[in-house]
Structure 1
C-alpha cells in the first residue's frame, strides 16, 4: 500500500526561496572528491553564478554558505534547498500539473533522486560517481516549478541542469529539450570539466541520470545477463552456465547488477566491493546479493561449494580487486588469462585507462580502439545491437506492482507472437528475451519506480508500446506508462571505447549517429529528449542521448510511439566494418524494417572486395611503379569514387565505387 501524499505536500518542494534548514548529519556520508582548486577570481565568479538564482535580499545569508561549500566540496550544491519531502516516484496523480506529460517528468526526476536508487542523492548524483540530475538544488526547485505550470503548448529548455525557461511550442513538440555537458570539442578535457563544474556552468549527466530515465540497477541487469549468457556460448561453447564462475568488481549503480545477472544466467557470481562497504550492504539489503563476506577464505570456500552443487549464487566480497595500481591488476589478468580465464572489459574504460597508465594491454597491430582483450561490445553485444536489439524499458506511473505484472505479461505475449515468424538467428535473441520477461517478476528487481527493462528489436518495441497503450485505453493498466531506453543502445551512443568500439571503418570517433538520434526523436513524438557529452567511459570520450515518451492510451500516443520508435532503432542498425556481411546482413534488415525491399540487392553492392582496394594505394593498375596522388590523378586511368549512397545507420557507410577507364 502506497503512502498517500497530497499534491500540496509535493508543492512544498517547489517554492524557490523558502530557506529550508538542512542538517549536516543528513548529508551524504561520502562526499565527492573531485575538488578543483580554482583561483580567487574564479571563486568569485562561481559564487556570483550561484547567487543569481536568488533575489538580492537573500544574498547576505546565502553567500557565506555557498562560499564554504565551494571551498569544502569544490562545487556549490546549495544543500539548504534540498527538500524535506522524501524523494521517490510518487503515483503520477499526486503531482501538481497542467499536463500529465509534465507530471511524468516530475515522477522520473524524483525517482532519479530517491535515496534507494541514487548513489549520492544529496549531491544530486544518481550513479557513476558524478552523474547528476541537476547541478544544484535551486535548479531542482525551478524545474519542478516550471513543470507544474507547463501547458501542452510549451517546452522547457535545459542547459546542463540550468532551466532556461518555458518557451512556446506545438502540442506535438517535446515538453523538454535537455543538453548536458555540451562544450566546444577543443575544450572537452577533464581539466576543463572540473573548472566548468566548479563554476556551475556545466555538468556531467552520465547517461540516464541527466535525462531523467534511470530505473535503478535493473536498468543494466538484462544486458549483463545477455552478456554473461553469450560469453558462455562464445568462450565455453555452452549456454548452460551451472557450476561456472563469473568474477567482477564493484557494486555501484551499474556494476551492482552483475552478481544478480550471474544468478539469473544460472552461474556463480562473485562481486568484489572495493574498500567501501556501504554499497555492499545496500545491495545485500535490496536482495541483489545473496551472501556477503569479508574473508577471502570463506569466499573461495562458498564458490567451491556452489560449483560442486551447480547452485546459482551471488556472493559479495568486501575487499579490493587490486591493492596497488592498474598495471599490477593487468599483470594479474594477463597471468590468469594465460591459464585459461576469459576476460573482457565491461564498459568502464578499464582497458583505456590501463593503457594510459602504461599497462601491457595494447593489441599488436591493432587499431585505435583495439586492445589485447576485447570489450564486451566487440565480442558479444555488438552483434546483438546490429540486429536491432537493445535495452527498451518502461515505467508504470501508477506505482502499482500489479500494473507492472500486466505489462510484463503483455510484452511476453507480443514477443512470443513475433518469434514464431523470425529467422533462426533472431529467434535465439527472442528466446533469450522471452525467458527474461517471463522470469523477471520472480527475481524482485524493482528498486524505485515500478519499471521493467527488456531487450527488444524495432518490431518488438513498437508492438509492445502499442499493446501497452491499448491496455491503458481499455483499463487493464490503471495509469499512463513512460517508455524509454538506456542511452547504451542500438543508436543512442557514439563511444569508441564502448558502444562503437567494434566500428572499424575509421568513423569510431564520429558522433553523427547520437546527435541525429536526438534530433530525430524530438520531431517524431518524444515527450522529452536529452543529449550528453560523456557517459559510461567518461567526459570527452562519448556522445549519447535518450528520450522519454508518455503512453496515455490515446491514438496520438500510439502514433507517436510508432513513428519515433521506428526511427530510434533503425537509425542504429548498421554494418560493422571488418565483419563478414553474411553474418549479420543489416542492409537487408534495414530494408525490411523500412519497407525498402526493392533496394536490398543494390545495397548489397556496398560489400567492397579486397581486390578493389588496391586502387586506394595510388598504384598503377597495370602493375607498374607506385604513383603519387598527383600523378595518379593525371594518368590515363582514373578512379572515380562516386558516393552514390551514404546511409549512416550506426556507421553504415556504403561506397559504391565506379571504375572508369578513360582510354576505353
Structure 2
C-alpha cells in the first residue's frame, strides 16, 4: 500500500494472476475498488471521487486502507459490511453468501434531504456513493455508453424514421456520465455538440477518444457540425461554456438542433453545476464559504437552461431529460412547467425494461485486453441478440479501455445468463487468463425506484414505491452474488432515488456457474415482475415466455 500523503497517492488495481487476497472471491472486489480510483477511471481520485460531483469509492483514505486490509485477509466464509464507504465489521457466513455487503447514503424518509445528508457528510458519518462509485463497479464512461447509444437510437427511430444521419444533438456535461454522450451519438449516426465548463474535462474526453474536436467558440462548433452534415459523416464537438448561456444563444440564432438533452451533474447543485456567469475558480472558492448561495445560484441557472429546453420543444425539437434531475431543480427554482418534456426512460427505454433487458458488463481481472478480445469474440456465438456482433465490432474500434479492460452490452434474461455461464467456462478452460467480474450499472429495470427517472410515469402510478430495489438487493444476496450494494440518491440526488447493484466473480468453478445463473436470471426476473405487476402487457408476456412464476397472477387465473 502506498504510504504517501493522500493527495499524492496513485491507486491502480493489481494485474495478472498473482493473488493479493486469499481467493478470487475477495481479490475481485479488492481490484474493482482500486480500479474505481485508477486515474484513467476516476474524476478526482485524490479525493476518492469517482464521478458525479462527489460519488466516492470510500469515505476517506483511512476507510479505504481498512477495506483493502480486510479484503486481503478474509476467508470465503466471511462477509465484510461497509456502511457509507466505511468498513464496520466482518460476519461469519458461508461460501455462497456475498463477500461484501455495501449500503451507501441511505437515510430514513423524513430525513432524506440534501441538507441532512450534507450535515452528516461534514461530520464524517456518511458519503455519497452515486451508483457504481460506491459499489466498486464503475468502468469509466464506457459503463453508460451502451444505454446512451440505445436511447439515441430509439429517439432516432421515434422521431426520424430510424435514421440520424445528417442530424445533430445538443447536450451539456462531459463528466463521468455525460462524457459518454459524444461517442454514443456518433456511433448512433448523429453529430453532437457538448457544452462543458471545465477545460480539463474536454481535454480528457478528447484524449480518451470519446470526443472528436474542441471548438474555439460557438461559430466554429456549428461550422464543424455543418461540414460533417454536408460530408455525410458525424462528428462530436466540445465547447467550453455554460450550458444555460449556450442553449439560449443557439435559440437566439435559430440554429436548431434535432435533439436536445443534458447530462451535467445537476442532481448535485453544490458540486455538480456551475452557475452562469461564474468562473471555475469562483465556483470552487464559494462552495466552501457560501454553499447555500452556490446552490441557489446553480438552481437559477438550471431554471434558465430548462426554460431554453422548453423553448426548443415549443419549436418542434424533441427534448428529453437524461436522468440528472435538472427538471426538478428547475421546478424548485420556479419553472412550474419543467416536467413538460419527458425523461429518457419513460420516453425511450421502458419497453426494454419490460422485457428484463438491462446492462451486462464484464471486466478482465487480469488487466489483459486480450481477455476481453477473445471473450467478446466467443460471446458472438452465445448471445442471440443479432445486434450484439455489430456493437462489439463498433466498441472494439471506438471505445478505449479505462482501467481494467471491460465491455458492456444491454441483454435480456436468457442472453445474460448464457453470457455469464460462457464467461465462466472460458475461465475454467483457460481461454482467458484470469477470472472475470460480471456486473451491471444500477440503472436497471427492477433495481431502481426513481420517480424522476427510472420509475417515472409508471402505468399504475407506483413511481415512488421503493420496495423493488430492496427486493432486488435481497434477491442478489440470496442468489449468491459476490458483493451486493443498496444505495440512496444516485443519479437524481438525495431524496429522489433508491437503487441496488451486484457483482459476480466468474472463477471457472461449478459453484460460480450456479451462482451466476441464479443471480443474473433472478435480477432480470425481478425487473419483469416489477413491470408486470404495474400492468405492462409486454412484461406480462415476457413472464409467460420465460416461464417466470408470478403467484398473484396465477392465483387470479385460478
State if a TM-score over 0.5 links the two structures. yes
Partner of 1:384: 352
Distance across 2 between alignment mates of 1:377 and 1:593: 23
> CA distance change for structure 1 residues 137 and 580 in 2, over 3 Å: closer, same or farther?
closer
Are 1:414 and 2:382 counterparts? Answer: yes
Are 1:537 and 2:492 counterparts? Answer: yes
Are 1:463 and 2:418 counterparts? Answer: yes
The counterpart of 2:26, out of the listed 68, 77, 102, is 102
> CA distance change for structure 1 residues 125 and 202 in 2, over 3 Å: closer, same or farther?
same
Partner of 2:335: 359
Greater C-alpha Rg: 1
Are 1:182 and 2:158 counterparts? Answer: no
1:185, distance to aligned residue in structure 2 (A): 1.4
1:483, distance to aligned residue in structure 2 (A): 0.2
Query: C-alpha root-mean-square deviation of aligned residues, in Å?
Result: 2.1
The counterpart of 1:372, out of the listed 340, 351, 364, is 340
Distance across 2 between alignment mates of 1:579 and 1:139: 41
Runs of 4+ in structure 1 deviating by more than 4 angstroms, as ranges, are: 574-582
Are 1:166 and 2:90 counterparts? Answer: yes
SS in structure 1 at match of 2:502: strand
1:523, distance to aligned residue in structure 2 (A): 1.6
Distance across 2 between alignment mates of 1:595 and 1:577: 11
SS in structure 2 at match of 1:93: coil
Higher RCO (C-alpha 8 Å, min separation 6): 2
The counterpart of 2:229, out of the listed 301, 307, 312, is 307
Partner of 2:279: none
Residues 211-222 of structure 1 mapped to structure 2, 5 A cutoff = 211-222=135-146
Unaligned runs of 5+ in 1: 1-11, 14-19, 23-78, 363-370, 419-429, 605-643, 646-655, 659-664
Partner of 1:345: 321
Distance across 1 between alignment mates of 2:335 and 2:152: 26
Distance across 2 between alignment mates of 1:373 and 1:533: 25
Distance across 1 between alignment mates of 2:106 and 2:540: 33
Distance across 1 between alignment mates of 2:212 and 2:488: 36
Distance across 2 between alignment mates of 1:305 and 1:536: 35
Distance across 2 between alignment mates of 1:120 and 1:571: 35
Distance across 2 between alignment mates of 1:578 and 1:331: 36
What is the number of equivalent residue pairs in this alignment? Answer: 504
Residues 310-321 of structure 1 mapped to structure 2, 5 A cutoff = 310-321=232-243
Distance across 2 between alignment mates of 1:170 and 1:577: 34
Partner of 2:451: 496
Unaligned runs of 5+ in 2: 246-275, 277-300
Note the alpha carbon deviations across 1:140-172, whole angstroms, 9 max, x for none. 100110011011111111111111122211111
Partner of 1:421: none
The counterpart of 1:253, out of the listed 176, 179, 186, is 176
Please say if residues 479 and 515 of structure 2, whose CA atoms lie closer than 8 Å, have aligned partners that are also in contact: yes
Note the alpha carbon deviations across 1:27-55, whole angstroms, 9 max, x for none. xxxxxxxxxxxxxxxxxxxxxxxxxxxxx
Distance across 2 between alignment mates of 1:372 and 1:578: 27
Residues 130-169 of structure 1 mapped to structure 2, 5 A cutoff = 130-169=54-93
Note the alpha carbon deviations across 1:387-431, whole angstroms, 9 max, x for none. 11111101011111111011111222212xx3xxxxxxxxxxx34
Please say if residues 229 and 265 of structure 1, whose CA atoms lie closer than 8 Å, have aligned partners that are also in contact: yes
Please say if residues 397 and 479 of structure 1, whose CA atoms lie closer than 8 Å, have aligned partners that are also in contact: yes
User: TM-score, structure 1 length as denominator?
Assistant: 0.73
Distance across 2 between alignment mates of 1:581 and 1:103: 41
Partner of 2:42: 118
Distance across 2 between alignment mates of 1:288 and 1:102: 32
Partner of 1:267: 190
> CA distance change for structure 1 residues 123 and 189 in 2, over 3 Å: closer, same or farther?
same
> CA distance change for structure 1 residues 431 and 372 in 2, over 3 Å: closer, same or farther?
farther
